[in-house]
Amino acid sequence: MRNNDEHRTLNRTVNQFTGKVALVTGGTSGIGAAVARGFITEGATVIVTGRSEEKFRQLQDSEHPLHGSIEFIAADVSRTTDLDTLFTSIRTRHGRLDFAINSAGIFDRSQSFHDYGDPDWESLIATNVTGVFKCMRAQLAMMINGGSGVIINIASVVAQRGSDRASPAYVAAKHAVLGLTRQAAVEYAGHGIRVNAISPGPTLTAMAAPLLAEGDDVATTVVGSLNPTSQFVDPQTIAATAVFLCSQAATNINGADFVIDGGQTARL
């Protein structure tokens, strides 16, 4: 039987973010949803954004046990008016922002560079770069007022290299996300704010559905050609990394990029 001191220690570990407010953009599905679950489990008040309230309801219904709480604010990060509403709502409801995970993004598949059209470029950059910048700008302002905070940007292994599967805009955008991460990390460390990135390889989300539809053997072969483990990244691994980066154990980690790819970028 555990004594009272041991019990209190376990509760502090399980609910380490009690009283903290976390924002997860793109938090209704995929990596964002896994991250939202991770922070709820740790006791945080989690605000998720997305375009679909129905997806949020599915996420909300799936939470058990519910140590923290979860809220939804509809927002498209490519729309400045949506972001103004989002951050005004956070200030009004909570008056603080401790953690921000910028996961919202769109993906388009490889197209010939010389044929890639302006509308495709502008749409993707508006969400995956400008949207991240505008979110960070507002997040940093709130965290300065609060005296501390942690921002995590979801980048990609294609921020490290080119890609046969992704478009020019997607690859450029993820490189830009690392640039924004590093610049903010340097500029705001003196305000008690840490900024890091997580760069996943192919992850087991809805984005992988077209490949999975071709059969397990095909999926294993394709993923195996990318990384030595021949496995998709589990979104829960990304969530656990995000939780760690926001914890007291990570207080000296700033401006870093955590690559989670089964060894993909280690392979020549």
Which residues does the annotation mark as catalytic?
170
Residues, the chain: 268
Residue 141: its H or E element: helix 131-146
- How far, in Å, CA of 17 to CA of 98, rounded? 9
**CB of 235 closer than 8 Å to CB of 30:** yes
- How far, in Å, CA of 85 to CA of 58, rounded? 23
Q: Collect all residues with Cβ–Cβ distance below 8 Å to 24 and sequence separation of at least 6.
A: 32, 35, 36, 39, 46, 47, 48, 49, 100, 101, 103
Give counts: helices (H), strands (E), the chain.
10, 7
Compute the Cα dihedral for 144, 70, 32, 87 and give only its sign: negative
Q: Which long-range contacts (CB under 8 A, 24 or more apart) does 82-89 make?
A: 83/131, 83/134, 83/135, 83/138, 86/49, 86/138, 87/138, 87/142
What is the residue whose two structure tokens read 């220690």? 9
- How far, in Å, CA of 103 to CA of 101, rounded? 6
- How far, in Å, CA of 104 to CA of 141, rounded? 20
Which pair of tokens denotes residue 6? 């041991």
